Structure formats: C-alpha cells, structure tokens
Amino acid sequence: MNDSHLILGVDIGGTSIKAAVVDTRKGSLATTVARIKTPQPATPKAVVAALAELSARLKWRGPVGVGFPGLIKQGVVRRAPNLDPGWVRHEIVNHLQRVLGVPLVAVGNDADAAGLAEARYGAGRGVRGTVVLVTLGTGIGSAVLHNGSLLPDTELGHLEIGGQDAELFASTLARERNKWTWEQWGRNVDRYLTVLEYMLAPDLFIIGGGVSAEPERFFRHLENVECKIVPATMGNDAGIVGAALFAVPGVKALARRRQRGVK
Ligand code: BGC
C-alpha cells in the first residue's frame, strides 16, 4: 500500500506540543492527538526531546511537518519571541532530522500552518481572493493567502500601531495580563484588524487561536472592520494538519527521486 500521503503533523505551542498522523489527501487526522506539556524553559534540546517522545508514542518513522511559533528561514530559526532565546539561529531542521532519524522534516510558522489548513479544509474553504487568518493567543500569528496560495512568514502580529507592538494589546495574553473585559479587548482587536484591513484589503478574516471557540464574547465589538470575519472551524486540528502539509512538497520530491533511482 502506498501511504506517502500520511505525514506526522506537530504543533509547537507555548503551553503544549501536539502531534498526530495526518492524511494529507483528506486534510484530516489519521490517529488520535498525542500531547505533552511544553518544557519550561522551552530550550531547543528540551523541545526536540519532547517531539521525539511524541513521535515514539505514535510509533512514527515517516516524514514529519512542524509548525513553529516563530520565523524560520532555510531551516534556521530567526525569531521566536515567545520561546527560549536559545532558539535564535538554531538549525531546527538539522536538529530534528538527527534526533528523529526520519527521511524528511519540514518546519514552518505555526500561524501559516493553521492558515493553510483553514483555507483548504476549514473556514476559508472555496473562498477566492485574499484570506487573512489571525491567531490570537500568547502571541499573534498571521497567515495571508490569495486564491489558496500562501505568502509565508508575514509576522503581522508585530505590526506597530500607536507606537505599540500589536501583540501587547490584541493578544489573548494581553487580555489576561491586563485583566481587560472582553469588550475592552474586543475593541483593541477591532483596531488591530482595521489596520490590517486597510493594508491588505482581505475578502475574509479568519480568527484562530483558543478564542475562536467563543466568538460570541467579542465578535460584536469588531465594529469597524468592513470585510467578513469568521471564527476558525478546525480548532486544534488546524495547526497539526497544516504542519503536515508543509512536508508534502518534500515528500513528493523524494518520491520522484526514488522513481528515477537516485538515492
Ligand atoms: C510570532 C509568530 C507566531 C505567533 C503565534 C508571534 O509572537 O512572532 O511567528 O506565529 O507568535 O505563535
């Protein structure tokens, strides 16, 4: 049986790391989700060991896709504002490949993973034009897609508005730290989305992160945004499914090489 469409998807979050085998043809989970608490401090060594533990639990030896809460270029971490500073300049792809000993590891941004999955299989399915997914959590992540194609690594959670990084007033963490009411925080999110709308002219905003489960608490305060806003529909699965999708091009390239007899 050819099961090259099965890829382990891993979502590295601030509080937990979640993994499941994903059927990348259907965009759905093929196993239950294995999860582990994010080690504190979340150093490269500790996080990679946690990933190894999860893949061992799922008895996985195949390709792996990872969603990481920061910016990665050419397999190297550039920024990881909400993890341990030891990640900066860390060769995450090499490190994972060495420890996991699997044929292929692909790593991308966590919000891009969620955006890819939601655009293909969730709240953005079938939508033409520009879709912007914003994840509101410990940080703010962004994914920008046009007709289903991703513009990777946008990092719009760090847009400076009124002299302040947006994460400091529109993330879930900011709401909790400042003990804002949902209305106060909702107005901040409205301000943030209004700036994004002015710049990107999206056809649809998708709001992801834990708060996507309770849109009734704050969507009514998003008064100044003109385009349609919907909550993400795939919950935690989006980050896992999208992470697995990162590895699809690499898996296809490997298969082509094997067909040509190249080792
Ligand atoms: C990081 C992004 C990430 C987001 C959500 C931000 O602080 O800069 O890369 O997507 O948090 O985890």
- Residue 263 confidence (pLDDT): 62
Residue of 154, 155, 158 with the most ligand 1 atoms within 8 Å of its CB, for mutation: 155
Across 231-256, average pLDDT: 95
pLDDT of 253 strictly over 60: yes
Length of the chain: 263
Query: Quick check: 3 pLDDT over 90?
Result: no
Q: Is 82 in the pocket of ligand 1 (CB under 6 A)?
A: yes
* CATH architecture of residue range(s) 6-110+238-259: 2-Layer Sandwich (3.30)
The pLDDT value recorded for residue 107 is 98
CA of 49 to the centre of ligand 1 (A): 22
> ω into residue 41 within 30 of 0, thus cis?
yes
The stretch 12-28 carries a mean pLDDT of 96
Tokens encoding 216: 């009734």
What is the number of the ligand 1 atom nearest to the C-alpha of 139?
A: 11
pTM > 0.85: yes or no: yes
Distance CA 162, CA 178 (A): 18
CA of 111 to the centre of ligand 1 (A): 7
pLDDT digits (tens, 9 = 90+) for 153-193: 999 999 999 999 999 999 999 999 999 999 999 999 999 99
Quick one: what percent of the chain has pLDDT higher than 90?
A: 94
| 13 CB within 6 A, ligand 1 | no
What class, spelled out in words, does domain 123-233 have in CATH? alpha beta
Atom 5 of ligand 1: nearest residue by CA position = 141
Domain residue limits, the chain: 6-110+238-259, 123-233
What pLDDT was estimated at residue 93? 97
Verify whether ligand 1 is closer than 6 Å to residue 210 (CB atom): no
Same fold? 6-110+238-259, 123-233: yes
215-234 average pLDDT score: 97
Ligand 1 mutation target, pool 15, 38, 92, 110, most atoms within 8 A of CB: 110
pLDDT given at position 262: 74
Residue 151 in tokens? 């513009």
Give the model's pLDDT for residue 4.
83
Counting from 1 in the atom list of ligand 1, the atom nearest the Cα of 142 is: 10
What does the H/E/C string look like for the chain?
A: CCCCCEEEEEEECCCEEEEEEEECCCCEECCCCEEEECCCCCCHHHHHHHHHHHHHHCCCCCCEEEEECCEEECCEEEECCCCCHHHCCCCHHHHHHHHHCCCCEEEEEHHHHHHHHHHHHCCCCCCCCEEEEEEECCCEEEEEEECCEEECCCCHHHCEECCEECHHHHCHHHHHHHCCCHHHHHHHHHHHHHHHHHHHCCCEEEEECHHHHCHHHCHHHCCCCCCEEEECCCCCHHHHHHHHHHCHHHHHHHHHHHHCCCC
